[in-house]
């Protein structure tokens, strides 16, 4: 199958800090790419580059055969990118339902009845249905994380980008989240940044290791996790991975 | 009763009150009421831009001036009653806004605010130099002889009332539309908004042009009421200061906030310059002190604090989720099982 996402030689630096150093990879529909690496390695920046919140210094990003490298974020979102932020970014004075409705209306381009029923379906799938009319600003962490996922999903993306959405959750909560991600995997491509090895292993087809903005390794989860490189990086990672 | 019905009914009652008010109120109070209503409209427009699109303008007086001068000049050229050329005012202000948006939108935050102010000052300086528009001494309303002065104050009040009600109704309509949902998402979190497909720049542009148009119309009405326009009054930065004060103490990013803000603003003014007998300067100091206190106690303004504490909803624009009407416990268990 032709890849949905093709990232080629993507580069970005902030002054002295290199956050992306000629990163290349491909991703097909139905595939989940896990991304690991120490804090500050450039994982979130990679997502920012893909969604267009940060403009690349070099390289290209192709989505479904179309070059999206220079497009503004809202265009990329409408073309099929949905992103869950590491630090939840709700619309605090809108209700949970309205939060997801923004994504359904703008990202997915739905109107009226179609928009509201799709929004409710997403809230149901992400376990937020009972809190639909609560203000997003008043949600506890777990629900903020769920809402991040709901907003990403509601825009009917082809590619879902998840940034540490399991971080800070209890084990049963992580299990639930993994189950939810599994249900959407079949018809989406997913990039999932996470520090929790077993969660990542459970869903990922491949894992990509970033360090200082460079792709150090990419391969099947078992191989990558057991590799010498990762063990070395992981020792340092476990300490700050908890934070 | 559904919210919409209550709102429509309140609108009708208010319209009736406005229609009848000139027959009971004396001219002084009527003039004050007209001024309140026009400033409320301007504050709503400033709020549309600052509260929903995140652009704080210190140069909104330029749109008031463009609207007012457009009215005075066009009415002079066409020699018709100023009321009939009122539509020119918002159109001119909107066109100006659409043009200056191109360079101004490259600037963010404080740079935008200051650039707006500088732009207003420059246009003001040109106006003072230009004899064609009356220079420093300004212009009388050329067609004031066509005005029926028996009905002038009531007409001004009715126009201001219609504009205010129309503005609030239009803003309410806007906020419950899907464009309004986009505006509110940008108000809350522009990063998240663009990440789910909201075109933040487009929203800003639309809010800017609408805001300018509304201020142009309200400004034209305001100076029409004076029958005279002079650049120092038209390009006065205090217009923006008042709008900002009203919005910030009342509640930025809400439709109710400016209404509350305008009541406080005029209440304070009448209290300080009337019974307390203080001069205009002290009044401005008082405004400043109150603004600072409100910003420290209730940073989002008085209305949101009241609303959240008392649970009142007035111009409620929240969309409720479409839940299944009544699901019996047994029925839902069957579905689940
Ligand atoms: N907009 C920015 N401007 C300057 N530096 C940034 C910016 N965004 C990220 N950085 C820096 O780039 C590095 C990588 O950050 P990030 O991508 O968030 O890492 P990770 O998600 O892997 O922990 C960090 O040192 C961070 O401080
Ligand atoms: Mg990160």
Share of chain A above pLDDT 90, in %: 74
> Which tokens sit at A54?
């940060």
Alpha-carbon gap, residue A198 to A190, rounded angstroms:
17
- Strands of the sheet containing A5-14, edge to edge, are A17-27, A5-14, A58-63, A66-67
Q: Does residue B117 lie in a domain region?
A: no
> Which tokens sit at A186?
């079949």
Q: Pocket around ligand 1: residues whose beta carbon is below 6 Å from it?
A: A 14, 17, 19, 37, 39-45
Give the nearest partner residue to B197 out of A74, A119, A123, using CB atoms: A74
- Please indicate whether, in this complex, the C-beta atoms of A123 and B321 are within 8 angstroms of each other: yes
Lowest-pLDDT choice from A78-87, B46-55, B194-203, B284-293: B284-293
Residue A239 has pLDDT above 60, yes or no: no
Q: Which helix (H) or strand (E) holds A12?
A: strand A5-14
The residue ranges of every structural domain in chain A are 5-233
Residue B2 has pLDDT above 80, yes or no: no
Show the DSSP H helices in chain B as ranges: 3-20, 27-53, 61-78, 82-85, 88-104, 109-129, 152-176, 178-188, 190-195, 200-226, 231-234, 238-250, 257-273, 280-297, 302-310, 329-336
> What is the separation of C-alpha B123 from the centre of its chain, rounded to a whole number of angstroms?
22
Residue A235 has pLDDT above 70, yes or no: no
- Please indicate whether, in this complex, the C-beta atoms of A101 and B181 are within 8 angstroms of each other: yes
Tell me which residue of A61, A60, A14 sits closest to A40, measured CA to CA: A14
Alpha-carbon gap, residue A196 to A36, rounded angstroms:
9
- Please indicate whether, in this complex, the C-beta atoms of A89 and B182 are within 8 angstroms of each other: no
Residue B1 has pLDDT above 70, yes or no: no
Residue B332: which pLDDT band, with cuts at 50, 70 and 90? very low
Alpha-carbon gap, residue A11 to A147, rounded angstroms:
31
Residue B324: which pLDDT band, with cuts at 50, 70 and 90? low
Confidence (pLDDT) at B285: 83
B319 contacts on A by Cβ (under 8 Å): 95, 97-98, 101
| Span B140-159, average pLDDT | 83
Do residues B257 and B251 lie in contact, with contact meaning Cβ atoms separated by under 8 Å? yes
Residue B232: which pLDDT band, with cuts at 50, 70 and 90? very high
Q: How many residues does chain B have?
A: 337
Q: Report in angstroms the alpha-carbon separations of B286 from A157, B257, B289.
A: 53, 20, 5
Alpha-carbon gap, residue B176 to B287, rounded angstroms:
33
Mean pLDDT of chain A: 91
Residue B337 has pLDDT above 50, yes or no: no
> Which tokens sit at A10?
């993507």
Q: What is the pLDDT of residues B28-69, one digit of tens each?
A: 899 999 999 999 999 999 999 999 988 999 999 999 999 999
Q: With both helix axes pointing from N to C terminus, report the angle between B27-53 and B238-250 in degrees, rounded to the nearest 10.
A: 70
Find all residues with CB under 8 Å of B265, minimum gap 6, and list them. Answer: B39, B242, B245, B246, B249, B287
Residue A194: which pLDDT band, with cuts at 50, 70 and 90? very high
Tell me which residue of A206, A163, A157 sits closest to A49, measured CA to CA: A163
- Please indicate whether, in this complex, the C-beta atoms of B195 and A94 are within 8 angstroms of each other: no
CATH number, domain A5-233, options 3.10.180.10, 3.40.50.720, 1.10.760.10, 3.40.50.300: 3.40.50.300
Lowest-pLDDT choice from A186-190, B209-213, B285-289: B285-289
Residue B270 has pLDDT above 90, yes or no: no
Residue B79: which pLDDT band, with cuts at 50, 70 and 90? confident
- Residue in A with minimal Cα distance to B323: A120
Residue B220: which pLDDT band, with cuts at 50, 70 and 90? very high
> Looking at the predicted complex, does its ipTM rise above 0.95?
no
Tell me which residue of A203, A107, A189 sits closest to B181, measured CA to CA: A107
Alpha-carbon gap, residue B142 to A188, rounded angstroms:
68
Q: With both helix axes pointing from N to C terminus, report the angle between B280-297 and B238-250 in degrees, rounded to the nearest 10.
A: 40
Alpha-carbon gap, residue B23 to B21, rounded angstroms:
5
For an interface test with A, give the residue of B187, B194, B195 to mutate (most A CBs within 10 A).
B195
**pTM attached to this predicted model:** 0.87
Cα three-residue angle A153-A159-A164, rounded to 5 degrees: 70
Alpha-carbon gap, residue B22 to B10, rounded angstroms:
19
Residue B330 has pLDDT above 60, yes or no: no
DSSP state of B198: -
Task: Give ion ligand 2 contacts, CB < 5 A.
Answer: A 43-44, 86
> Which tokens sit at A143?
């629900």
Alpha-carbon gap, residue B155 to B167, rounded angstroms:
18
Residue A1: which pLDDT band, with cuts at 50, 70 and 90? low
A91 contacts on B by Cβ (under 8 Å): 184-185, 188-189, 192-193
Q: What is the pLDDT of residues A94-153, one digit of tens each?
A: 999 999 999 999 999 999 999 999 999 999 999 999 999 999 999 999 999 999 999 999
Confidence (pLDDT) at A211: 92
- Please indicate whether, in this complex, the C-beta atoms of B194 and A73 are within 8 angstroms of each other: yes
**A239 CA to centre of ligand 1 in angstroms:** 19
- Of all protein residues, the one whose alpha carbon is nearest to atom 12 of ligand 1 is A19
Confidence (pLDDT) at A24: 95
Domain count, chain B: 1
Q: Does residue B281 lie in a domain region?
A: yes
For an interface test with B, give the residue of A55, A73, A160 to mutate (most B CBs within 10 A).
A73
Alpha-carbon gap, residue B43 to A182, rounded angstroms:
50
Find all residues with CB under 8 Å of A122, minimum gap 6, and list them. Answer: A100, A104, A150, A153, A154
Phi-psi label, residue B148: left if phi above 0, alpha if psi -120 to 50, beta otherwise: beta
Confidence (pLDDT) at A96: 97
Beta bridge partners of A8: A60
Q: What is the pLDDT of residues A7-48, one digit of tens each?
A: 999 999 999 999 999 999 999 999 999 999 999 999 999 999
Range of the domain at B254: 237-318
Residue A78 has pLDDT above 90, yes or no: yes
Q: Does residue B301 lie in a domain region?
A: yes
**A137 CA to centre of ligand 2 in angstroms:** 22
Please report the atom of ligand 1 found closest to the CA of residue A86.
Answer: 21
Find all residues with CB under 8 Å of B41, minimum gap 6, and list them. Answer: B160, B163, B164, B167, B214, B217, B218
Q: Does residue B253 lie in a domain region?
A: yes
Residue B80: which pLDDT band, with cuts at 50, 70 and 90? confident
Show the DSSP H helices in A82-169 as ranges: 96-102, 112-125, 141-154
Alpha-carbon gap, residue B15 to B197, rounded angstroms:
39
- Residue in A with minimal Cα distance to B197: A74
Q: Report in angstroms the alpha-carbon separations of B96 from A107, B70, B77.
A: 32, 12, 21
Interface of A with B in 75-94 (CB under 8 A): 77-78, 82-83, 85, 89-94
A93 contacts on B by Cβ (under 8 Å): 184, 187-188, 253
Distance from CA of A93 to the nearest CA of B (A): 7
Mean pLDDT of chain B: 88
A90 contacts on B by Cβ (under 8 Å): 188-189, 192
- Which residue's entry shows tokens 């809010």? B207
| Span B1-29, average pLDDT | 85
- Which residue's entry shows tokens 């009939």? B84
Do residues A188 and A158 lie in contact, with contact meaning Cβ atoms separated by under 8 Å? yes
| Span B284-297, average pLDDT | 86
**A185 CA to centre of ligand 1 in angstroms:** 28
Alpha-carbon gap, residue A50 to A63, rounded angstroms:
10
Q: Does residue B277 lie in a domain region?
A: yes
Cα-trace Rg, chain B = 22
- Please indicate whether, in this complex, the C-beta atoms of B321 and A93 are within 8 angstroms of each other: no
> What is the separation of C-alpha B143 from the centre of its chain, rounded to a whole number of angstroms?
27
| Span B259-281, average pLDDT | 84
For chain B, the residues whose C-beta falls within 8 A of a C-beta of chain A are 178, 181-182, 184-185, 187-189, 191-201, 253, 318-323
């Amino acid at each position: 199958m032709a890849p949905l996402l093709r990232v080629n030689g993507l580069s970005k630096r902030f002054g002295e800090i290199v956050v992306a150093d000629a990163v290349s990879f491909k991703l097909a529909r139905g595939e989940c790419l896990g991304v690991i690496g120490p804090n500050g390695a450039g994982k979130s920046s990679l997502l920012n580059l893909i969604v267009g919140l940060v403009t690349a210094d070099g390289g290209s990003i192709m989505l479904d055969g179309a070059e999206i490298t220079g497009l503004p974020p809202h265009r990329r979102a409408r073309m099929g990118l949905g992103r869950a932020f590491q630090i939840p970014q709700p619309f605090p004075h809108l209700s949970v339902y309205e939060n997801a409705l923004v994504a359904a209306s703008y990202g997915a381009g739905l109107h009226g009845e179609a928009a509201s029923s799709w929004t409710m379906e997403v809230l149901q799938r992400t376990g937020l249905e009972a809190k639909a009319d609560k203000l997003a600003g008043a949600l506890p962490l777990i629900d903020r994380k769920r809402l991040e996922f709901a907003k990403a999903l509601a825009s009917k993306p082809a590619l879902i980008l998840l940034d540490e959405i399991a971080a800070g959750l209890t084990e049963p909560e992580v299990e639930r989240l993994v189950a939810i991600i599994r249900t959407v995997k079949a018809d989406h491509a997913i990039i999932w940044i996470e520090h929790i090895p077993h969660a990542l292993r459970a869903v990922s087809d491949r894992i990509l290791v970033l360090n200082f903005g460079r792709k150090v390794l990419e391969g099947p989860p078992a191989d990558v996790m057991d590799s010498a490189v990762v063990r070395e990086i992981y020792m340092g990672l476990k300490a700050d991975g908890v934070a | 009763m559904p919210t919409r019905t209550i709102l429509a009914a309140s609108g009708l009652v208010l319209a009736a009150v406005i229609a009848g008010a000139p027959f009971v109120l004396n001219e002084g109070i009527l003039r004050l009421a007209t001024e309140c209503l026009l400033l409320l409209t301007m504050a709503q427009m400033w709020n549309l831009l600052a509260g929903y699109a995140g652009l704080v303008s210190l140069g909104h007086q330029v749109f008031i001036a463009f609207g007012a001068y457009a009215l005075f000049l066009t009415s002079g050229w066409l020699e018709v009653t100023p009321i009939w050329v009122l539509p020119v005012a918002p159109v001119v202000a909107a066109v100006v806004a659409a043009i200056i948006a191109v360079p101004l939108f490259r600037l963010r935050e404080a740079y935008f605010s200051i650039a707006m102010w500088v732009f207003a000052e420059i246009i003001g300086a040109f106006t003072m130099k230009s004899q064609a528009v009356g220079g420093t001494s300004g212009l009388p309303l050329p067609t004031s002889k066509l005005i029926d002065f028996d009905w002038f104050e009531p007409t001004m009040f009715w126009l201001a009332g219609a504009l205010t009600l129309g503005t609030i109704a239009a803003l309410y309509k806007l906020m419950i539309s899907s464009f309004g949902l986009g505006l509110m998402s940008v108000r809350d979190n522009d990063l998240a908004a663009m990440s789910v497909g909201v075109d933040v720049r487009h929203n800003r542009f639309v809010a800017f042009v609408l805001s300018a148009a509304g201020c142009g119309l309200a400004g034209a009405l305001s100076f029409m009421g004076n029958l005279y326009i002079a650049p120092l009054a038209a390009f006065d930065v205090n217009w923006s200061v008042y709008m900002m004060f009203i919005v910030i103490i009342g509640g930025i990013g809400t439709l109710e906030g400016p209404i509350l803000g305008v009541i406080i603003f005029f209440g304070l003014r009448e209290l300080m310059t009337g019974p307390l007998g203080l001069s205009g300067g002290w009044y401005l100091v008082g405004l400043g002190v109150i603004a600072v206190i409100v910003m420290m106690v209730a940073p989002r303004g008085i209305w949101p604090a009241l609303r959240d504490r008392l649970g009142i909803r007035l111009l409620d624009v929240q969309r409720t989720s479409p839940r299944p009407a009544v699901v019996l416990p047994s029925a839902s268990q069957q579905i689940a099982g």
